[in-house]
Amino acid sequence: MGGCSTIFGGSLAVFLLTWWPFLVFPANTTTDLTKCLLFAAIPVLIVGVVLVRLFALAGSVAFSGGLFVGAVFLFMNLNLETLGIKDPNLKVPDYPEQFRWIIPLAWMLAGLAAMLFAYRDPEKKPEG
């Protein structure tokens, strides 16, 4: 794959893997939110590390782009009521209000840490 298609496909995959648990499970309680985040985080980190290892810079850009879009989704999903979306079927979440900005921030920082850990310079030759 070329650089542009790697970036597009990789970032789309990372975003969709972030998004799907929130379609399947409700996220109104702390337990449900934890379940959604775990079902999203494990495949996102695996795909992200594979992208970074296989495609170097293009994979890193794809992974970070998907992480940022996923973090915006998490922020907006956790702040539905604050954003002015009034739905009578919307349940009030039981988790602390600080989770609404801490979770997206932690999502980005954990992903970026995994990306920096997995990145290897393609120009550098292994010793030995």
pLDDT(23) > 70: yes
Q: At what angle do helices 30-78 and 99-118 cross, to 10 degrees?
A: 90
Mean pLDDT, residues 39-61: 93
The secondary element (H helix, E strand) that includes residue 61 is helix 30-78
pLDDT at 128: 56
Greater model confidence, 82 or 37: 37
